[in-house]
Structure 1
Amino acid sequence: MNISVELTFSPLQDDFENHIINFIKNLRASGLTILENPLSTQVFGEYVKVMQVLNMEIETAFELMDKGLLFMKIVKSDRSNYEPHF
């Protein structure tokens, strides 16, 4: 089963940029399909693999910062090729 995940990672501290950059670089290194925009990072792939990677990378990111939050949306389908029809 393929999924699409949208993540908005927000460290709540002054040095937030490095935490976000490291989180995204680690996701890129996973071999999953990653799309980025100014507001979120999207991850696409097989459910078990995506969730394994996210579990590990979210835990690592949370351990490296004092305070933060992560918004996550999961869609049951691979939306990586989505194009608007209007």
Structure 2
Amino acid sequence: MNVSVEISMYPLADEFIPAIQGFIDDLNAHNGIKVITNTMSTQVFGDYAEVMRIVSLCMQKAHETTPKAPFVMKVLNGDLSPQVD
């Protein structure tokens, strides 16, 4: 089953951009998922188990480097990624 996940990270730090960029870079380092980023959130698409495994790993790493960093996620079964013709 495929999944679409929308994630927003809100580091509670003065220098928040490096933490957010690090999280996005970590997601993009993984093959097998599609990552799309905009100004408000990051969307991740792919196989349910693989997406959740990768998101969990990347969130854990983010929490280790930025201890106070809440995440907000929306998860939908199905792939809503933009299709390229």
TM-score under structure 2 length normalisation: 0.92
Gaps of at least 5 residues in structure 2 are none
Distance (whole Å) between structure 2 residues aligned to residue 3 and residue 14 of structure 1: 33
SS at match of 1:79: coil
- Superposition deviation, residue 81 in structure 1: 2.2
How far has the Cα of 1:80 moved from its partner? 0.2
SS of match in other structure, 1:68: coil
CA RMSD of the aligned region, Å?
Answer: 1.0
Q: Which runs of 5+ in 1 are unaligned?
A: none
Mapped partners of 1:79, 1:61: distance in 2? 26
Whether the aligned pair in 2 keeps the contact of 1:13 and 1:66 (CA below 8 Å) is no
In the TM superposition, residue 15 of structure 1 has moved relative to its aligned partner by 1.4
Q: Which residue of 2 aligns with 1:52?
A: 53
Counterpart secondary structure, 2:61: helix
Check whether the contact 1:8–1:41 (CA below 8 A) recurs between aligned residues: yes
1:3-82 mapped onto 2 (5 Å cutoff): 3-31=3-31, 32-81=33-82
Aligned pairs, number: 82
Q: CA deviation at 1:78?
A: 0.2
